[in-house]
Amino acid sequence: MRADRLVAVLLLLQRRGRVTAAEVAAELEVSERTARRDLEALGMAGLPVYSQRGRHGGWSLAGGGRTDLSGLSAREVRALFLLVGPSSQATPEVRAALRKLTRAIPEPLRATAESARAAVVVDSAGWDRPSAAPRPEPPWLGACQQAVVDAEQVELTYVSGSGAATERVVHPLGLANKGAAWYLLADTDDGRRTFRVDRVRAVRPTGAPALRPEGFDLAQEWRTAVGVIDDLRTPLRARAEVDPGVVGVLRFVLGTRVAVGPPGPDGWVEVELRGHGVDSLAGEIAGFGARVRVQSPDELRARLGELGRELAAFYDTR
């Protein structure tokens, strides 16, 4: 898990003063390429990590790596805890390490560390698949992170899925990383909203403090938001019985849009299917033929019947 590795790399630098990518790879049992990426990630995030080429080169912490973490600046503390702090991603070991790191930094910076650690929730599943291919970080992700950590209202320029641009002042509450996409959860005059960060076109600080509801739980709020977004993305719900021999293939085709229930008396498996619409879901499951028996809705059953007749008329060679 990357969060664990980043903490481990930082502590390894702290202990040894200078390391090579090969030494990090051997210590953490990863490839040299992975070790090099982790070292570069720490440096690019603003932590005092730098590389030196040559025979006796390697990676070091500024100051020789022998000072304690009280030498970190506010910017560096924020960068570290944003990198390794998502609670849903952290194991007990990394959470223990973060607690130790928090105690090691000066009192004035501890609030920054705690805010950064609670700023992000990671949801590794994609919307329709367990995982998704990585994408470049959205240009305004850093500004959104800053607004969440600093608890500052910002004026957001945002482009909706229909292409309409709007400007509004929001109270940033947290960020969620789901699959390959980033989302900003914020309170607005219209209530709580979820914004895709790759659709943000500008973030302008207002200088006014953001109001955070008492007892706000980012992980719980994100679970609620996922349910709302899923309903908007896939409003069609269908009930069906499935030949147990095709359950795995059906999961491969629909990903997380299939919920598998118990088998019936005849051994066929009850499922709930979610789709973007009648035509799209019918097209996705038509290839299963009679091995997927749809009970409802009637519109989907009718569309599958139409597809069957169209295919039979086209391919009938008698």
- For 182-218, b/e burial (b = at least 16 CB within 10 A) is bbbbbbeeeebbbbbbbbbeebeeeeeebeeeeeeeb
Pair (106, 24) in one structural domain: yes
Pair (27, 76) in one structural domain: yes
Domain boundary (180, 207, 233) is at 233
- CATH code of 111's domain: 1.10.10
> Which has more pLDDT, 268 or 1?
268
Pair (6, 114) in one structural domain: yes
> Which has more pLDDT, 191 or 39?
191
Give the span between the Cα atoms of 51 and 313, in whole angstroms: 68
What is the tally of structural domains in the chain? 3
pLDDT at 69 > cutoff 70: no
What would the pLDDT profile of 236-257 be if each residue is shown by its tens digit?
999 999 999 999 999 999 988 8
Pair (156, 198) in one structural domain: yes
pLDDT at 1: 45
Residue 105 pLDDT grade (very low, low, confident, very high; cuts 50, 70, 90): low
DSSP letter for 29, please: T
Position 35, amino acid: A
Residue 131 lies in a domain: no
Helix (H) or strand (E) holding 19: strand 18-19
> Could you tell me how many residues make up the chain?
318
φ and ψ at residue 164, rounded to 5 degrees: -80, 130
Give the span between the Cα atoms of 164 and 185, in whole angstroms: 20
Residue 127 lies in a domain: no
Pair (21, 73) in one structural domain: yes
Domain, as residue range, for 21: 2-118
Q: What is residue 278's three-state secondary structure?
A: helix
Residue 317 pLDDT grade (very low, low, confident, very high; cuts 50, 70, 90): low
pLDDT at 117 > cutoff 80: no
Pair (160, 79) in one structural domain: no
Q: What is the mean pLDDT of residues 129-146?
A: 73
pLDDT at 66: 44
Residue 39 pLDDT grade (very low, low, confident, very high; cuts 50, 70, 90): confident
Pair (6, 113) in one structural domain: yes
Domain boundary (211, 233, 255) is at 233
Alpha-helix residue ranges (DSSP H) falling in the chain? 2-16, 21-28, 32-44, 74-84, 92-104, 107-117, 141-150, 218-233, 247-254, 278-285, 298-315
Give the span between the Cα atoms of 122 and 155, in whole angstroms: 25
Q: What is the mean pLDDT of residues 129-145?
A: 73
pLDDT at 286: 94
Residue 42 lies in a domain: yes
- CATH code of 195's domain: 2.30.30.520
Domain boundary (118, 150, 172) is at 118
pLDDT at 12 > cutoff 50: yes
> Which has more pLDDT, 230 or 250?
250
Contact in structure between 101 and 47 (CB atoms under 8 Å): no
Q: What is the mean pLDDT of residues 150-165?
A: 92
Residue 92 lies in a domain: yes
Contact in structure between 20 and 58 (CB atoms under 8 Å): yes
pLDDT at 227: 84
Average pLDDT over the chain reads 81
Contact in structure between 261 and 272 (CB atoms under 8 Å): yes
Percent of the chain with pLDDT over 70: 73
> Which has more pLDDT, 128 or 121?
121
**Among 286, 293, 277, 288, which Cα is nearest to 239's?**
293
Pair (73, 111) in one structural domain: yes
Percent of the chain with pLDDT over 90: 38
DSSP letter for 252, please: H
> Which has more pLDDT, 41 or 170?
170
Residue 65 pLDDT grade (very low, low, confident, very high; cuts 50, 70, 90): very low
Q: What is the mean pLDDT of residues 261-282?
A: 94
DSSP track, 146-203? HHHHHTEEEEEEEE-TTS-EEEEEEEEEEEEEETTEEEEEEEETTEEEEEEGGGEEEE
